[in-house]
Amino acid sequence: MKNPWASPQRKNRPSLLLSLGLSLVLAVPSANAGFITRTLTRVAAAAAITSVAHAYAKNKRSSDREADAPRGQTTGDRASCTDQLPMGKAPTFSNPKLGENTHQVCYQEYTVLVSGKTLTPLWSAEYMTKQRVLAARRMKRVNSFHEEDSVPIAARARLADFVGAKNIDRGHLAPSGDMTSPGAQYESFSLGNMIAQNSSNNRHVWEGIESGTRNFAVSNGKVYVITGPLFIGQNIRFMNNRVAIPTQIFKLLYNPVNQTGGVYVVDNVDTETIGWKSIAQFEQFSGYRFNLGAPALMAMPQPQQHFERSKYAKN
């Protein structure tokens, strides 16, 4: 995706000046050629220095701007792809069909795998630390939902897919409340990070799980988080005949301090009921494989209770 903050390229004027100067040397009488040649040599040297200085300043401004500005979507083999994953291992699927027509997208602070079959992400992965959570708490939320341009058109959801949906939110897998910069927060609003989530679920019970996870990252120092939808059963519903609506949502926590883990599982309905399982138990019925061995069940963080819609759940 072209960076909208990048300045248009300018013509290299010092090089143009040098070309014109050399042309003039060829056009003057031989008697004056030596003097003019020496003069233009100085001009050429100054022009070359100016050209280098302009190029350096331009690149410096571009680098500074790219470092500070929101980057939008970015794909490719970035370190963030593996840094966000426990042991650097991405989830796989016991059912090969789940892995067909998928596209991994790497962002500044999380990574996702988008499915061209469901037009949703199948999982997101984040490495949460105390420092990251404390930095994210200073961020003000700015809604900026947008389509994921790095995924092929036929394999991605559109903003229009969510228009008119009743009691359905564009639910984040990697929460915007986990992001530490305007650029990272912007990336969290990609539809490549969104599922069709029951509105009450998103704004209450699920937000409580997200808040509890952040609190655990602060108290424990670090935690890996993998979040995703489940599509279980034969009667999967589709929004606007395009975007699959999950039957359940899960959030896996892996504690690298003591190699324990666990998974929250919540039905994608208006509910306050939260289930949790060991990673091995979850793998048996979900179709996901996390390739972490069989870590012992951790003491799952207590979700925060939300009886009123939070300002962070606005959609």
245 and 261 Cβ atoms separated by less than 8 Å: no
Which residues does 136 contact at the CB level (< 8 Å), separation at least 6?
177, 178, 179, 180, 214
Residue 38 pairs in a beta bridge with none
What are the backbone angles phi and psi of residue 202, rounded to the nearest 5°? -60, -40
Q: Report the C-alpha gap between 132 and 127 in whole angstroms.
A: 9
pLDDT for 285-294, tens place per residue?
999 999 998 8
279 and 286 Cβ atoms separated by less than 8 Å: no
Q: Report the C-alpha gap between 203 and 108 in whole angstroms.
A: 25
219 burial level (CB within 10 Å; 0-12, 13-18, 19+):
exposed
257 and 222 Cβ atoms separated by less than 8 Å: yes
Torsion sign across C-alpha atoms 244, 228, 288, 92 = positive
Give residue 96's pLDDT: 83
Beta strands 288-289 and 92-93, pairing class: antiparallel
Q: Is 202 annotated as a binding residue?
A: yes
79-313 folds as Extracellular Endonuclease; Chain A (3.40.570)
* Nearest one of 176, 105, 190 to 148, comparing CA atoms: 190
172 catalytic per annotation: yes
DSSP code for 107: -
264 and 250 Cβ atoms separated by less than 8 Å: yes
Q: Report the C-alpha gap between 12 and 228 in whole angstroms.
A: 50
Domains of the chain: which residue ranges? 13-68, 79-313
Catalytic residue among 54, 146, 172, 306: 172
pLDDT tens digit at each of 315 positions of the chain: 333 223 333 334 333 333 333 333 333 344 444 544 454 445 444 444 444 344 433 343 333 333 333 333 344 445 568 999 999 999 999 888 888 999 999 999 999 999 999 999 999 999 999 999 999 999 999 999 999 999 999 999 999 999 988 999 999 999 999 999 999 999 999 999 999 999 999 999 999 999 999 999 999 999 999 999 999 998 999 999 999 999 999 999 999 999 999 999 999 999 999 999 999 999 999 999 999 988 999 999 999 865 444 433 333
